[in-house]
Amino acid sequence: MKAKINKLQDDIKLMKQMGTNAFRFSISWPRILPNGSLSGGVNKQGVEFYNNLIDELISNGLQPFITIFHWDLPQAVEDEYGGFLSDRIFDRFNLFSRRPVSKTNIASLNLFLQLSCRKDYVDFAEVCFREFGDRVKHWITFNEPWTFCSVGYDLGKLAPARCTPQEGRQCLGGNSATEPYTVCHHTLVAHGEAVHLYKQKYQVYYQNHCYIPSSNFTLPGHNHICLFIYLQYAPSKIFRQTRKAKSV
């Protein structure tokens, strides 16, 4: 990373010489929010780094495509409530809405919401929209959610390295039969929440776009069951697969 920072201007000049007109990169969540949430404050040095990167790209004729989340979940978020295994990642009020509210417990519930509940991914996305949205025309909410969900929570080969222990893999706990689906559901809902926020508060000013890309896949084209399962993760306006499945 240090080499990337030190050679940033040189790399961008090389891309310009090669005729590149766009550059896709991700924003590091813990670099912007060190403890994963707004409660720990925004790292101004992190914001400054990405501002300099964006300005340098644009001044050299390269359009930035920004990925908000590329699998670098802050450890504090993982430790506190399990990251994307919990709906607290995207909706501060989801837990509140599932409990009956009375006048006698409203004060304690309000305190509970302030201290315990989170919508950390959506908050992080909003910081990105607010700080960089005046120059960024294309936002990617999650990089390859299918890969993040399956390889991180089914195979255990990516962070947070979770899978069913009986599979014989070196995992840190988990359940390959349920957790990938839970995480994918929460990821897609978090995508929707971030896009909804962007359209409500920022798109009217910037007229930009939000996407979610799919991974490349090598499933047999005739395997309709596999395609049906995979394509639930796959809709995207950019990085669309060149090979069209008949079921689309």
Q: Is there a catalytic annotation at residue 144?
A: yes
pTM (two decimals)? 0.78
State the burial class of residue 187 (Cβ atoms within 10 Å of its Cβ: 0-12, 13-18, 19+): buried
End-to-end alpha-carbon separation of the chain, Å? Answer: 40
pLDDT in tens, 93-121: 544 344 444 444 555 545 444 445 569 99
Backbone torsions φ then ψ of 215, nearest 5 degrees: -80, 160
Active-site option among 78, 126, 131, 144 = 144
Kindly report the average pLDDT of the chain as a whole number. Answer: 80
**Buried b vs exposed e over 114-141: b needs ≥16 C-beta within 10 Å?**
eeebbbbbbbbbbbbbebbbebbebbbb
Instruction: Dump pLDDT digits (tens) for 211-243.
Output: 787 665 555 555 555 554 555 554 443 333 333
Percentage of the residues of the chain whose pLDDT score is greater than 70: 71
**Residue 155 per-residue DSSP state:** S
The tokens 């988990």 sit on which residue? 174
Domains and CATH numbers, the chain: 2-91+119-213 (3.20.20.80)
Residue-level pLDDT at 213? 75
Least reliable range by pLDDT among 58-72, 87-101, 171-185, 217-231 = 217-231
